[in-house]
Structure 1
């Protein structure tokens, strides 16, 4: 079959819409990535509400795709739509460097980290958006200390029924993705004991959890309608499930990870997400049922992933055809994920660059481990901030 080119539009309430032409092959899903960043004083690691000034100063390729986030000390970047991981990497770097350069021009740093190093007590300075004020009125102290940063990967699946079935297949792998991308051990001026403190902070929102097992589109819509009716969410943008079909673009959005320290690690995450989605899509079309992991065990596995990251233990949710909950080394589940997606990664030409990146991560340590090592040397947040600044705009890709 020939490749099909179609127009894909990414819209955001925070900034200008982006229209990109994507060449969609019959076997390779398109990718788009959203990254959230902190703006901080490089000497202290303290967040600074300067998003508007930095966005105005940003120049160069990708600068127009930097948009506002929940707080005034955050920026978000939205990539174009890609099929090539190398092109995705270049796009991510362009936006990181544009934002980092603008921040440096006023003495600040762009920081790819899931949480504010020196804390963020009370209600953060919110971006000037009526929606955020409504969230503050409705949810009160849940807003205290918010301003956490994640990485969201969109894969191009236009059919809503297929997207929800793919979501069912992805559920057991979400904790592995979180463990691999954990990048927020330091918050409020101390080591929290979690590889990802962003995960429990984000988990305070009522809908921020692994997605349910969806029986149909009608089931999905009934759950959303119930959350809206009960005030659990104010609008569909507050569906914070770790996998959700987009309401604005023909994609499935995977939201299980911290923002990654380097663009190369973001591409690793995106490539693994696409591999999982393509493998799941093949299974859906072949009639292979998704494993029905219990919600309680899935939440427990996600908590363990946030606590230990990839450097500790993980809950093994699947042993053959059985659902279980045994604790195993987290890297063992990463290796199992790689085995699971290897056929589609090899078909797409992604196997070698992604496994090279995995080996680089094994050698250098996870984002959380690197932060902890920087902090342990002298117990100073400025050392962690310096590390994060250096990583954020650095190139690191096979």
Structure 2
């Protein structure tokens, strides 16, 4: 490892907080096509669920946001409640809520909601802004020191393709298997401000780069920093935003737990002066492409050693790396159990393909996903 002088000014971090944002599709129960009823769904929500909902970039999407949580039980309970509330509101609007990473069949209505920002994005990015809807899972890990957050994002670059592979849940497009475990990831590559997080020397370097990209017209504003990890533009957190929305609550909680453990582990590395590995951006991009293509069913690029290795070997090494942080947060046994389940059942993409191969019916896939999406 390469070291720099320790960052002595950064205090002991203790237990880090968590929050999760999930985006869901609203599908026609009969055709499986996206249904433009988000306004009705949001209007139907009541109480905390209404306050924790967000309008998204498509009329066929809703986003639900957990409050800040201290532990996985609290996070899981909130995700279950939010999914159930959103599913009930969707049913009242004649749709069903499905946690899937990309539009599986078709999106007939691609206009953006009537908000000045969305219209500005439509004008700037043209047809890219009218691609079929995609849905992600964003994990926020509390880290109020912004300088530390930027350095942690540098260290995250080697591990985020593994996290991405764990979440792959969008193999379908136009009713057929694309050959990619995450078609969402492929679709998002058309946006100029989405992709692997660049390496930054400091928070000032980060801010200067963002300002230059805004001035060049690549981004409308700082909120359009859609890199796979970033210091959040709105909260004192590191936001990990590389994954497809997960089909089941426990899949999402697993990803959140691993993300928190990664941030905690890497923040400790920064505090003692460990430098982030210097890796060419093209190799990081290649690792993300491979993760989106293979998921956990093939091989991933090991950005620490070079070359490809079986995906589950890298998952096991990720788990070993973050085991002390998992134990510190009380998450170790839960994560061990959920990784064993994922190894047996496969990712969302694997499960979808298994049903499609068995039945030849994409509607059977969506039936299964709809049931998993609201189960607790």
2:301 is aligned with 1:315 = yes
1:71 corresponding residue in structure 2? 58
CA distance in 2, matches of 1:218, 1:146: 36
Q: Which of residues 155, 161, 165 is equivalent to 2:141?
A: 155
Q: TM-score, normalised by structure 2?
A: 0.94
2:199 corresponding residue in structure 1? 213
For the 8 Å contact 1:62–1:91, the answer to whether it is kept is no
1:248 corresponding residue in structure 2? 234
Q: TM-score, normalised by structure 1?
A: 0.89
Per the TM alignment, residue 116 of structure 1 is displaced from its structure 2 partner at its CA by 1.0
Q: Which of residues 368, 372, 376 is equivalent to 1:387?
A: 368
- Where in structure 2 are the equivalents of 1:317-356 lying within 5 Å? 317-319=303-305, 324=306, 326-356=307-337
1:88 corresponding residue in structure 2? 75
CA distance in 1, matches of 2:354, 2:29: 18
For the 8 Å contact 1:100–1:110, the answer to whether it is kept is yes
Task: Flag structure 2 segments of 5+ consecutive residues without an equivalent.
Answer: 1-11
Secondary structure of 1:249's counterpart equals coil
Per the TM alignment, residue 38 of structure 1 is displaced from its structure 2 partner at its CA by 0.4
2:37 is aligned with 1:50 = yes
For the 8 Å contact 1:342–1:351, the answer to whether it is kept is yes
Secondary structure of 2:349's counterpart equals helix
1:105 corresponding residue in structure 2? 92
2:350 corresponding residue in structure 1? 369
If asked which structure has higher relative contact order (CA below 8 Å, sep 6+), I would say 2
Secondary structure of 1:314's counterpart equals strand
Per the TM alignment, residue 106 of structure 1 is displaced from its structure 2 partner at its CA by 3.2
CA distance in 1, matches of 2:88, 2:128: 33
CA distance in 2, matches of 1:365, 1:94: 25
Per the TM alignment, residue 304 of structure 1 is displaced from its structure 2 partner at its CA by 0.2
CA distance in 2, matches of 1:337, 1:275: 10
Give the paired residue count.
365
1:15 corresponding residue in structure 2? none
Q: Which of residues 281, 287, 292 is equivalent to 1:306?
A: 292
For the 8 Å contact 2:37–2:93, the answer to whether it is kept is no
Secondary structure of 1:124's counterpart equals coil
For the 8 Å contact 2:111–2:130, the answer to whether it is kept is no
Per the TM alignment, residue 60 of structure 1 is displaced from its structure 2 partner at its CA by 5.5
CA distance in 2, matches of 1:60, 1:310: 39
CA distance in 2, matches of 1:209, 1:279: 23
For the 8 Å contact 2:35–2:107, the answer to whether it is kept is no
CA distance in 2, matches of 1:144, 1:61: 31
For the 8 Å contact 1:45–1:116, the answer to whether it is kept is no
Per the TM alignment, residue 392 of structure 1 is displaced from its structure 2 partner at its CA by 0.4
Task: Flag structure 1 segments of 5+ consecutive residues without an equivalent.
Answer: 1-24
Per the TM alignment, residue 365 of structure 1 is displaced from its structure 2 partner at its CA by 1.3
CA distance in 2, matches of 1:112, 1:43: 17
CA RMSD, 1 decimal: 1.3
1:14 corresponding residue in structure 2? none
Per the TM alignment, residue 61 of structure 1 is displaced from its structure 2 partner at its CA by 4.6
Per the TM alignment, residue 141 of structure 1 is displaced from its structure 2 partner at its CA by 1.6
Per the TM alignment, residue 26 of structure 1 is displaced from its structure 2 partner at its CA by 4.2
Per the TM alignment, residue 293 of structure 1 is displaced from its structure 2 partner at its CA by 1.7
